[in-house]
Copies of this chain bind each other. A is one copy, B any other.
Amino acid sequence: MISKAQIKFIHSLKQKKYREIHQCFIAEGSKLVREMAASRFPVRQIFASREWIRENAFSGKIAAEEITSREMERITGLSTPSPALAIVEIPETLPGTEAWKEDIVIVLDGIQDPGNLGTIIRIADWFGIRQLICSVGCVDLYNPKVVQSTMGSITRVNIDYLDLPAFLAPLNGKMPVFGMKLDGDDLYRTNTTTNGLIVIGSEAHGISDQVSAFITQKISIPFFPADRETHAESLNAAVAAGIVCAEFRRTLESVRGRRDEGKSV
């Protein structure tokens, strides 16, 4: 059973304002709810089908309320309702360490599309990039569509929202700052590094001028063939992020000599 007050509460969490007031967000889907329950994120309550609760024994640790599929339809934000929905508390920010300075960090400037942000968090998780910095103008991390499209990676990547110029200023000259720009140098002619910031702007507006001022190396993904006149104007921001992260990791592995021996070129 679910009460009217609970339904109202869950719906309110679709808005950032109420997520901030209640310090909670929604995670939906069988696998995502399981991952949340196993993570450092405090799960306050789960609403799920009888079968799901039986198969996933969190009982005792996390309050699980059995609901019907009709009740789930009233609270879900998905077009195809899943068997489980969790109310999760926004975790405290982890105490800062300087470890990220030794590694690649993704910096997002004004990414508005929730699917893109979620997909980039998933990319970071795949490539072992532990730190992601969002400009304050990026879509909210706890927007249900962002949470959904991370596919659980939100529990494994550290994400901070910062004023980017204030964050970048003290790093000036201390870390390479790569910026994805359409007029940047060919990614495959760029000397990638083992640490550094990779700045990615929104598809609509690119990287802001304020942030661009801190970029030490502009890079772009070459289209093909190089002499072609008409082609897509750009790549999707998440696809571009994926290609760049893959290349930084490939070259790092190549330096380490663990890959490429079997490669023809």
Contacts and interface: CB of A to CB of B under 8 A. Distances in A.
Interface string A149-185: 1011100100000000000000000000000000000
A58 interface: no
Contacts of A152: 232-233
B188 A231 contact: no
A114 to B, nearest CB: 11
A226 B119 contact: no
A243 interface: yes
A174 to B, nearest CB: 21
A147 to B, nearest CB: 14
A115 interface: yes
A259 interface: yes
Nearest to A230: B156
Nearest to A38: B230
Contacts of A190: 263
Per assembly, the copies of the chain total: 2
Most chain B Cβ neighbours within 10 Å, of A126, A189, A247, A255: A126
Given A239-B119, A243-B246, A253-B224, A231 B189 contact: no
Interface in A238-258: 238-243, 246-247, 249-255, 258
Given A122-B232, A126-B224, A189-B260, 17 more contacts: A123-B239, A125-B231, A128-B223, A128-B228, A149-B236, A151-B232, A188-B254, A188-B263, A191-B264, A224-B253, A226-B253, A226-B258, A235-B242, A236-B242, A239-B239, A242-B242, A251-B265
Interface of A: 115, 119, 122-123, 125-128, 149, 151-153, 156, 186, 188-192, 221-226, 228, 230-236, 238-243, 246-247, 249-255, 258-265
